[in-house]
Structures are given as structure tokens and as C-alpha cells.
């Protein structure tokens, strides 16, 4: 997570390289090679450390559909691999890495997010019978609240559905709360928090959607906080910049 100038960028039809890190497609699927400097938690002392490794994502499903997140199409979202297998190797992790279930999506846009959104909640998980469920719940700057759900079967066929009501989640250390779709007869359970910042939170939430109990990776983005001058001043401490 380092911001770099254009001279650090190199790309081809099958590879994108930024600094010492890159993304490429090969026979295994998407391969991310990373070599970055990061700041650890305070208890580990504020000494920059280097993290090197590789992530291999092999999709079970490839999602080709692109969704417009606002009316004029200035912001797009594509669930590229709604379901897949991930293998991570990293010299900074106990045991050298892990493998498990994974997901890959991407956003693109022609304007800053904070110009058009107040924020959003996103969640992705799998049902007990193997269906992949993705829910997008955004609030535009106008106050409009576009919400939609996607469901993928084991063969990759996708269908849209209307998510159940949004239930609020407990706020984190920085006050970011968010919410998740949940049936009216149930309540969501915040199981773990993986990232908690002044404008963004990523968590594991167990919820119930259309009668199915689903453990979902969940994110909340607060664009109003992202636009605050104080938060802007804090960003370079977590995302170094290289000219």
C-alpha cells in the first residue's frame, strides 16, 4: 500500500507492475507478487519492515458483468472472481503463509468517491449448499440508497435479488459502524474485526439472508470521513508516497 508516481508504473496486456510489486495472469489465474515496506503495530515498535510474498488466486467463477454504482456511470464495480481458491506465501507470516477460499473484485471511476457517495456497505459469503452471495448497499451524496444482491450457483450462473433490511453493526474503535443485510427474524453477529480505521472497517459478520445463515466478509466505507482534512493528513502515515 504505497502511492507511487508514474515512473514506477509498467504494464502490458497480461501484467501490471507498480514499484517492486506486480499483478499478472498465468495458467494458475491471477498472481500477485508483493515486495513492500510497511509500518507494524505500536507494540512491535514503529520501525518500517519489508514484506515479501506471492498470492495465487484460481477462480471457481469468473464474473464478466460490470455494474454501475451511480446513475451517470461515473463509478463502476465488477466482481471478477466471486469465488475462488487462494494460496498465500509470505516471509512475514507464521508458517510462511496459508491457503483457503478467496474473492476478487475491482472498482473504477472518473471522479473521487467522496464526490458522489456518503459511503457503502459490501459483503460476500457462501451458503451451506455452496452458493456465493454478494450484497452491495450504498448511500449516494444525494441521499439515495441503491441496494442489490447477487447470487452465483456452482456453475457460475448469476441472479439478482433484493437484499433484506439493513441491520446496524456495533461501531469500531474509530466510530465506523456500518450495517449488513439481515432477515427481519434474525440479528447479525459481528464475529471479528480485521481492519479498523477512521473511515474504513473490514470484518467477519454472520448474518441470515433469505433463511440461509451466511458468514460474510464485510466492509464499510465512510466517504464523508475520508474527505475530512484530518483524515487526509493521517493517510501518508499508513500509505507512504514515493516520487
Instruction: Please say if the pLDDT value at position 51 is more than 90.
Output: no
What was the pLDDT predicted at 45? 56
- Average pLDDT over the chain, rounded to an integer: 90
What was the pLDDT predicted at 242? 77
What was the pLDDT predicted at 183? 97
Residues 83-112 have pLDDT tens digits of 999 999 998 888 899 999 999 999 999 999
- Cα distances from 239 to residues 38, 170, 183, 214, 223, in angstroms, run 8, 27, 38, 33, 17
Determine if the pTM surpasses 0.75.
yes
Q: Could you identify the residue written with the cell 474473492?
A: 103
Cell of 182: 439481515
Q: Which of 25-29, 77-81, 113-117 has the lowest mean pLDDT?
A: 25-29
Give the bridge partners for 46, in sequence order. none
- Cα distances from 190 to residues 101, 124, 171, 172, 220, in angstroms, run 20, 14, 10, 11, 13
Contact 70, 26 (CB under 8 A): no
Report the alpha-carbon distance of residue 200 to residue 224 in Å, rounded: 11
What was the pLDDT predicted at 179? 96
What DSSP state is assigned to residue 111?
Answer: S
Amino acid at each position: 500500500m504505497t502511492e507511487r508516481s508514474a515512473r514506477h508504473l509498467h504494464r502490458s496486456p497480461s501484467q501490471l507492475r507498480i514499484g517492486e510489486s506486480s499483478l499478472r495472469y498465468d495458467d494458475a489465474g491471477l498472481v500477485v507478487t508483493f515486495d513492500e515496506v510497511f509500518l507494524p503495530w505500536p507494540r512491535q515498535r514503529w520501525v518500517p519492515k519489508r514484506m515479501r510474498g506471492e498470492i495465487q488466486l484460481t477462480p471457481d467463477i469468473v464474473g464478466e458483468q460490470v455494474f454501475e454504482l451511480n446513475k451517470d456511470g461515473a463509478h463502476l464495480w465488477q466482481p471478477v472472481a466471486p469465488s475462488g481458491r487462494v494460496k498465500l506465501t509470505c516471509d512475514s507470516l507464521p508458517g510462511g503463509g496459508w491457503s483457503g477460499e478467496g474473492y476478487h473484485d475491482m472498482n473504477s471511476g472518473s471522479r473521487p468517491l467522496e464526490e458522489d457517495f456518503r459511503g457503502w456497505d459490501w459483503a460476500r459469503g457462501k451458503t451451506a449448499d455452496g452458493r456465493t452471495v454478494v450484497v452491495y448497499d450504498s448511500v449516494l451524496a444525494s441521499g439515495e440508497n441503491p441496494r442489490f444482491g447477487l447470487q452465483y450457483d456452482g456453475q457460475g450462473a448469476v441472479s439478482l435479488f433484493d437484499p433484506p433490511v439493513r441491520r446496524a453493526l456495533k461501531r469500531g474503535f474509530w466510530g465506523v459502524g456500518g450495517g449488513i443485510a439481515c432477515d427481519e427474524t434474525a440479528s447479525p453477529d459481528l464475529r471479528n474485526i480485521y481492519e479498523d480505521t477512521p473511515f474504513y472497517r473490514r470484518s467477519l459478520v454472520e448474518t441470515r439472508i433469505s433463511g440461509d445463515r451466511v458468514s460474510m466478509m464485510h466492509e464499510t466505507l465512510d466517504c464523508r470521513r475520508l474527505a475530512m482534512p484530518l483524515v487526509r493528513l493521517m493517510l501518508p502515515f499508513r500509505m507512504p508516497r514515493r516520487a
